[in-house]
Amino acid sequence: MKRILVTGGGGFIGSNLVDYLNQDPTISVQILDNNPRINKPENGIVMLDVKDIHKLAWQPDIIYHLAAQSRVQPSFDDPKSSTEDNVMGTLAVLEYAKKRNCKVVYAGSASRHFDHASSPYATTKYMGETLCKMYRKCFNMDIEIARFYNVYGPNEYLHPTEGNVIGIWRYNIENGLKCKVVGDGNQERDFIHVQDIVEGLVAIGDGISSHDDAWELGTGKTTNINDLATMFHEKYGTEFEWIEDQKGNVRKSVLVNNDAYERLAWSPKRKLIDYIMSLK
């Protein structure tokens, strides 16, 4: 029986990964998450801050480390928490894995390709990757980094500030609020479905190949925010207003290499427009 620990397993990407893993009867999944949005802990969830992972008496074979403060704009409001969660939390996971001699798959970020001092979020995710590379080199650990682009799909967080752009707009529509486009709307993003991310993570965890830097999980195609707004208008009749640009809002983010395609036999299969049109 393969034992897998998923930190942040109650969150957006984590919950989708857990659902996928639980379909395999040869895998035992343990979830570590202290997210207050999990009202009633389900079986397999340990309600524990990731920085306290040393308190968990379990011997996993693989740790998928997804627990993080994952949004750019909220990180400006509380850089201390971002640092504690994304840096100290990652350090705690790596120490736990070193003592138990288990593999780690770390959830990195495409923000790595931009100025890592442009936001507390970018800085802390950069530091998390650096810790992973240091532990891999200095302690000969089996650590893989997966860099995500703009993830969307089932279980995405619907919230006016802490959601991704799709989650924010969906929240506003459900609550009768006006939807807003930040800046001129010509920012380009590589949107990737969460199930494609999950399949990529599993391929990385299976150890088909290893990467000296990081696996990039994206589609290689971009959608600008104005075109995304058009999709929402066609689906819901939504009207938008354009507001002042925000700090840390990069102009273009898109897949930088095809290593995962070529070496993991992985490729994204879902389309953004299909997901938008499927929403209620």
Predicted pLDDT at 45:
80
Contact, 165 vs 226, CB < 8 A? Answer: no
Predicted pLDDT at 1:
92
Q: Exposed, middle or buried: residue 66 (CB in 10 Å: 0-12, 13-18, 19+)?
A: buried
Name the amino acid, one letter, at 68: A
User: What's the token pair of residue 276?
Assistant: 């938008």
User: What's the token pair of residue 25?
Assistant: 């009867």
Q: Give the pLDDT confidence of 152-162 residue by residue, as tens digits.
A: 999 999 999 88
Predicted pLDDT at 43:
55
Contact, 239 vs 178, CB < 8 A? Answer: yes
Q: Which helix (H) or strand (E) holds 7?
A: strand 2-7
Distance CA 223, CA 259 (A): 22
Predicted pLDDT at 36:
63
Beta pairing partners, 5: 30, 63
Residue-by-residue DSSP string for the chain: -EEEEEETTTSHHHHHHHHHHTT-TTEEEEEE---TT--SPPTTEE---GGGGGG-----SEEEE--S---HHHHHH-HHHHHIIIIIHHHHHHHHHHHHT-EEEEEEEGGGGS-TTSSHHHHHHHHHHHHHHHHHHHH---EEEEEE-EEESTT----TTTS-HHHHHHHHHHTTPPEEEETTS--EE-EEEHHHHHHHHHHHHTTS---SS-EEE--S--EEHHHHHHHHHHHH---EEEE---TT--SEE-----HHHHHH-------HHHHHHH--
Q: Give the pLDDT confidence of 232-265 residue by residue, as tens digits.
A: 999 999 999 999 999 888 999 999 999 999 999 9
Positions of the chain with pLDDT under 70: 36-44
Distance CA 190, CA 223 (A): 7
Predicted pLDDT at 70:
83
CATH 3.40.50.720 for domain 2-278: yes
Predicted pLDDT at 144:
98
Question: pTM higher than 0.85, yes or no?
Answer: yes
Predicted pLDDT at 223:
98
Predicted pLDDT at 42:
58
Q: Give the pLDDT confidence of 110-147 residue by residue, as tens digits.
A: 988 988 888 999 999 999 999 999 999 999 999 999 99
Predicted pLDDT at 37:
65
Q: How many CA atoms lie within 13 A of 170 on its CB side?
A: 20
Under DSSP, the state recorded for 42 is P
